Structure formats: C-alpha cells, structure tokens
Amino acid sequence: MKIGIMQPYFFPYLGYFQLIDSVDLFVLHDDVQFIKSGWVHRNRYLRDGKPVWFGLSLAKASSFALINERHIAEDFDPQSMIRKLDEAYRRAARRQYVIDMVSEVVSKNEKSLAAINERGLRAICGVVNITTPIISSSSLQLPSCLTGQQRVIEIVRRCQGTRYINPIGGLSLYSEAEFAKNGIELSFHRMLPCEYNQGVTVFEPSLSIVDVLMHVEPAQMPELLQSKQIESFSFYQ
C-alpha cells in the first residue's frame, strides 16, 4: 500500500500529479500551518514567454492558521484571473477547454482555500485519468502534538500504508530507520526532464499544470505522467 502526502496546492506542477499517479492513496495535508510563500494559494503560468504568478486572494488570518482555516477574500475576483489566463493562452490549442475547467473550480461560491484546491486537484485528475483515491489528513483527527516526520509516519500507519513516497526535495527531512521501525519503506519521487510545445523558443519548466493542459492532448498525458523515477532511500545515499 503506497501512500503519498502533500499539502493541497493550487493547480500544481506536473510532478505533483506524477506522485498522485504513483501511489495507492493520496493524502492532502490540509491541517498544517499555511505558509504564505508556498504553493497553496498560488502558482505560475506563462505570459509573453515569461512565468508570472496567478492565484487566490485570501482573507486576513492569524499567521498560525492552518491551511483548512484559510478563506478566500471577499473582494477576490475570479473573473479577473480567468481573463488574464484567457489572454495569455489565446493561441493555445486547448485554451477554451482549460479555461472552462479553471473557471468552474474557482468561480463556485466556495470560501475554503483547502476545498477549492481539492476541487481543482480532483478536476485535473479526472482530465488526465488518474484514479487514485484522495483523502484529507484532517479526516484522520491526528493528535496536535505530532509534527514533521512523526506526523507523516502516523498518517501512513493510519492509512495502513507499507511504503511512503515523498518528492525528492524532502530527502533530508526523513530517516529511513524511523520509517523502518514502523514497518514502512521510504521512497522518493523524482520528476525527469520532460518538455512539451509551449509555443515559445525556450522551454520554461515546472509551471502550473494549467500550462501543460493548454498545450498537451489527453493522449499524450500518460507519457508525461510516466516521466519519473521512484527510488528507495538507499538509492540516494
């Protein structure tokens, strides 16, 4: 039973969906502290050949608020964001389809940041035919005293996982021995270099999945999703 755990990002990059596709159960880590400089409320797309930010405006909240405690600002205008995307991708082959999907996700009368992001992730999974079950960590009612590695281990245990797969960027955060004590194999996901036609001279990697879907036909997505490596912790030692 392979488990993946990530915060609920806003229309994340391709590698995020590669990870979802690599596991038997994916857990949205929604009951941890919201980090303003992270990817939970924003991402990047390509405009005039350059990466620019887009995202959700949030209501003011405590700096200690959890992700699932953050809400959308009353004055957030989803249509303004949609118009900018529409203009930036006016020549993209799948523009209208993707614009309609993004609009459906962000234009509902929903104020919860976590709920909007989960809806976006599920929508994308449907488009690229990823069928991995998705749950939220808040549904597991974990003890608040658990943090970091111990929290991850407890999530995997409660989900009856035997293997945990984490993005390679977190390699230094975990101890293989601690996972082994709990009967869990520790592995890491690495996204391999993969390019698609963005309609620009120099390819810009790691943009929002929105950029990928604007240009890539559904029949090509399985190849992009498989452009990855899943290796054990010892592989990197």
**Mean model confidence pLDDT for the chain:** 95
d(CA 100, CA 178): 45
pLDDT at 237 > cutoff 70: no
* Nearest by Cα to 184 from 158, 166, 168, 161: 161
Confidence of residue 236 (pLDDT cuts 50, 70, 90): low
Site of tokens 């991402």: 43
Two tokens, residue 223:
């190849």
pLDDT digits (tens, 9 = 90+) for 171-195: 999 999 999 999 999 999 999 999 9
Predicted pLDDT at 96: 97
pTM above 0.85, yes or no: yes
The full set of domain ranges for the chain reads 2-236
pLDDT tens, 70-82?
Answer: 999 999 999 999 9
Contact 53, 21 (CB under 8 A): no
- Confidence tier at 22 by pLDDT (50, 70, 90): very high
Please give the pLDDT value at position 221: 96
Quick one: 219 exposed, middle or buried, by C-beta within 10 A (0-12, 13-18, 19+)? Answer: exposed
The one-character DSSP state at 106 is: H
Q: How confident is the model at residue 234 (pLDDT cuts 50, 70, 90)?
A: confident
**CA distance linking residue 30 with residue 228, whole number of Å:** 25
**What confidence tier does 146 reach under pLDDT thresholds 50, 70, 90?**
very high
Check residue 108 and give its pLDDT: 79
